[in-house]
Amino acid sequence: MAPHDLKVFLALLSATCASSQSTVTVWSSFAYIFHGERTPIWGPAAGHASLTPYGAQQLYAQGSVFRDRYLSANTTLSDEENEVTKSFPIVGVERNALDNSQLSIFSTADDFVTGGALAFMQGLYPPITQAFAYNNGGMNASVLANGSLVNYPLEGYQYPNIQSMSTLEPSSIWLDGHVTCTEWWKSANDFKTNPASADLYNQTYSFYKNLWSTTFADTIPMTTVTLDHAYDLYDYARYQYNHNETIRETLSADELNILMTLAGDHELSLNGNLSVSGLKEGDMIRAIAGRTLAGKIIAQFQAQIASGGYSNKMSLIFGSYEPMLAFFALSDLSDGHASSLFTLVPEPGSAMVFELFSVGNDSSSYPVNEDLWIRFLYRSGTNATAPFVEYPLFGLGNSQARMRYHQFRANMLDFAVTDTAIWCDTCGSVTSFCAALEDISSSSESSQGNTDVTVSPTVAGVIGAVVAMAIFGLVSAAAIVFGGLRIRRVEPVRKNSLGGFKGAEKMASDLDVAIVKSGARHERVGSWELGGSGGPGPNVGAGTAKDGTTFGAIVTRHDDADSIMNQAPTKPRESV
């Protein structure tokens, strides 16, 4: 082949490959979205952090961009929207009417997170009239017998099924695997005594103290304005910078950036230091939130593949930043060419996305595993011009940003936690579901180790009772037949001369009324109110409400507010 012809051939081949790579068919998308702006956990609203209107707008805007990418056609996007994202409609997903059977939506139980999830879904599936999902009954479900059409309230508001996961539920570990992880908390406390951490603490001490009078005074104690609380301080300062004119004038943008950088370094050390171990060497306990998130990603894609593309067309998880930082470290994003972005605490509303796709535009049948690919995208913040950007994972080069699904799955399984029991063992967690799993495991091991046939205590008791009754019956029959034993009924005689508090009215059941032979009246005994033996004991002192414990917490009985323990006992009357 002539050199000129070779050049033409290579050019055509390159163009063909580029075209095939750019023409993709998306089958499923998994996204983890950081919550929007909320009120600080420190300050006037301490302990009652809530989603701000600005935070709701951030999530709404992010949901709208997701709609542009997955539910719209390229021809409907403006030039500005195309700069943010191209359109890659997911195969078979409802474009206008929400079908909850196609989506999996999860949120932590924090109200500012669930509120943001709702705002996101309003952007993804905004209110619309005369549009009804096929799996929800379609148009037939909206038409009455008289022919009139009924829309949903609020001009066609759509109702997403958001599963909010409490930390008491085993499924919560896939969203925030660090929160109830005992070993993670131990490691976080150890971080404060680390020599490197102590050095940085000393180096930044004066910086934080200088900011106290201008930014944190009258709200946060000076003793807590240190590196140990880097993220909470940055979170508070950023909120005030956005909402407080006085703070905006006294806190410079450079100082806010320094607070942001210190917060990122601090939180990445707590969630992305892969060299730190917990109970087992190499368990990467600091990154446990990323390990459980990786397990959830694989589980969602596996379920999508198993269903032939029917379910989990979109999987959306809403939570905090810790799983994101942990995953950035586990996937080598924090060490790659864009490390400056992936070593910072994400901007509110940021989203990391995994797309399952095939090359080409054939959507007539679901592809085999060998033809499925994965790509990772990140959108930092919700600014109108912030684009979706594709990044390579696992230390691969830019040319390998897209990888086959089986390779992606293998790399993820190198560090992913895919089983609740494994998480419980790794974390040494004391949650109720871990205790239940441990009991089940112990019972299973006990039953497998004992090969003898045993009888349960209940069955043994029944057998013993039957045998005893049989023996008693035989002995009684023998006594009647051979011993002359006779059984007759004696009518009880009611005595009218019983003494005591009730006198003649005292019944045999009145055991707390003392009776003496002389018939003299005596006070009731055994009542704890009067200091008798039936009381709660000396631990209940005069004027002290009786307390109890519930799961280790002290719970005061409200009905003991009017305690009579400090009152003089009732004096008995000597006559009736």
Domain boundaries, the chain: 24-177+285-414, 182-272
| Averaged pLDDT, 256-270 | 95
> Three-class SS of residue 213?
helix
Sign of CA dihedral 78, 81, 82, 88: negative
Please classify residue 327 by burial: count the beta carbons closer than 10 Å to its beta carbon, then call 0-12 exposed, 13-18 middle and 19+ buried.
buried
Q: What's the alpha-carbon Rg for the chain, to the nearest Å?
A: 36
**Residues 151 and 144: beta-carbon distance below 8 Å:** no
Q: Tokens standing for 451?
A: 């090969």
As a whole number of angstroms, the distance between CA 123 and CA 160 comes to: 12
User: Domain 24-177+285-414 belongs to what topology?
Assistant: Rossmann fold (3.40.50)
**Residues 276 and 187: beta-carbon distance below 8 Å:** yes
**Residues 513 and 532: beta-carbon distance below 8 Å:** no
Locate tokens 């599963």: which residue? 163
Question: How many C-alpha atoms does 400 have within 13 Å on its Cβ side?
Answer: 9
pLDDT at 459 over 80: no
As a whole number of angstroms, the distance between CA 290 and CA 271 comes to: 8
Q: What is the pLDDT of residues 347-381, one digit of tens each?
A: 999 999 999 999 988 888 999 999 999 999 999 99
Q: What is the pLDDT of residues 287-344, one digit of tens each?
A: 999 999 999 999 999 999 999 999 999 999 999 999 999 999 999 999 888 888 999 9
pLDDT over 90 for what percent of the chain?
55
As a whole number of angstroms, the distance between CA 566 and CA 562 comes to: 10
Q: Indicate the pLDDT class of residue 468, thresholds 50, 70 and 90.
A: low
**Long-range contacts, stretch 15-21, CB < 8 angstroms, 24+ apart:** 20/359, 20/360, 21/359, 21/402
**Contacts of residue 434, Cβ cutoff 8 Å, sequence gap at least 6:** 420, 424, 427
Q: How many CB atoms lie within 10 A of CB 386?
A: 20
Phi, psi of 263 (to 5 degrees): -65, -40
Please give, one letter per residue, the 3-state secondary structure of 527-551. CHHHCCCCCCCCCCCCCCCCEEEEC
Length of the chain in terms of residues written: 576
**Contacts of residue 458, Cβ cutoff 8 Å, sequence gap at least 6:** none
* DSSP designation for 445: H
pTM of the full predicted structure?
0.74
pLDDT at 228 over 60: yes
As a whole number of angstroms, the distance between CA 222 and CA 212 comes to: 6
Q: How many CB atoms lie within 10 A of CB 73?
A: 9
pLDDT over 70 for what percent of the chain?
72
**Residues 259 and 239: beta-carbon distance below 8 Å:** no
What are 376's strand-pairing partners?
A: 354, 391
As a whole number of angstroms, the distance between CA 479 and CA 481 comes to: 6
**Residues 7 and 13: beta-carbon distance below 8 Å:** no
As a whole number of angstroms, the distance between CA 33 and CA 112 comes to: 13
pLDDT at 481: 43
pLDDT at 557: 36
Q: Which helix or strand (DSSP H or E) is residue 196 part of?
A: helix 195-211
What are 315's strand-pairing partners?
A: 30, 104
pLDDT at 464: 53
> Three-class SS of residue 264?
helix
Most confident of the following: 140-144, 221-225, 322-326, 533-537: 322-326
As a whole number of angstroms, the distance between CA 47 and CA 315 comes to: 30
Locate tokens 């003299």: which residue? 520
